[in-house]
Amino acid sequence: MHCLSARLTLACAVVLSAFSAQAQTASTLEKIQQQGKVVIGVRESSAPMAYALGSNHTFVGYHVELCEKVLAQVAPKAKIEYMAMTAQNTLPLVQNGTVDLGCGPTTNNQSRQKQVAFSVTTYVSEVRMAVRADSPVTSLKELHGKTVAASAGTTAVQLLRKFARDNSIELPTQLGKDHYESFMMLEAGRAEAFVLDDNLLAGVIANSKDPKGYKIVGEVLGAEPIALLFRKDDPSFKKAVDDALISMMKSGEVAKIYDKWFVQPIPPKNTSLNLPMGETLKELLQTPNDKPLEAYTS
């Protein structure tokens, strides 16, 4: 009897293990269909890519709109739920399936590809620095020994350290928990510069108390492919997202959405970022790919 009981327990364990494995390997599309909802990860302070508006926290931006348009094609009946993420917790939340589609601005690189998968590239940013409008600084080399602000979890932090090493200078870096906190260091005079993707810098400046009080200057530390992201090992969902994006790229819809968020006045202050689409992104819309950061630096 004991032997039979042990066998039954073992059999149950095998069945439960198989069920668990099956649940984990269920495709994102199946999960969305079963639950009737899709969770997208957004940011609260990454204008114009993804940011929150007003007290009711409506999420808007270039990447948010791209995600909404993609899901209108991929899962038209699913209810969209928005989850605020930070640069630090984006990968874990996507990796463990809490978030189905990451819509914050996330750089596609080889290290991150070990944890998550990326769509075809939807934006190419250039990492530069913002300084006060009256600052004489035009290069990071002029900031030897002076404090520079950056946001925790961003690739700008690594690029800053590499630049300092390569140029044998010291760039003491203060990390803000998000872009607003990092910008406040520059605003309050606790940092001489704030280093981040040019599009995000422009967004933070446009929404600041004094948009004319700051400028973007200096060398380009790196060009970074930005993309939507989702769970690894789910080729059906990647294909569905990529197909939707490529269709929008070919039709000219992505270019129109870009113009809306980067060239036209945007909320909350109805200020334009005046960042026309760069040549690299124009080429990518013609020949979409999902190459990582390393392909841009080789």
Euclidean distance between CA atoms 240 and 231, whole angstroms: 13
Domains defined for the chain, CATH in brackets: 28-124+225-297 (3.40.190.10), 127-223 (3.40.190.10)
Q: What is the pTM of this model?
A: 0.75
- How high is the pLDDT of residue 135? 97
Give residue 176's Cα distance to chain centre: 17
Strand 123-132 to 116-118 pairing: unpaired
Radius of gyration (C-alpha) of the chain in whole angstroms? 22
- How high is the pLDDT of residue 231? 97
- How high is the pLDDT of residue 234? 97
Q: What is the mean pLDDT of each run of 10 residues along the chain (298 residues)?
A: 46 42 71 97 94 91 98 98 95 97 95 97 94 97 97 92 96 95 97 94 90 92 93 97 98 98 93 85 95 84
How far apart, in Å, do the first and last CA atoms of the chain sit? Answer: 67
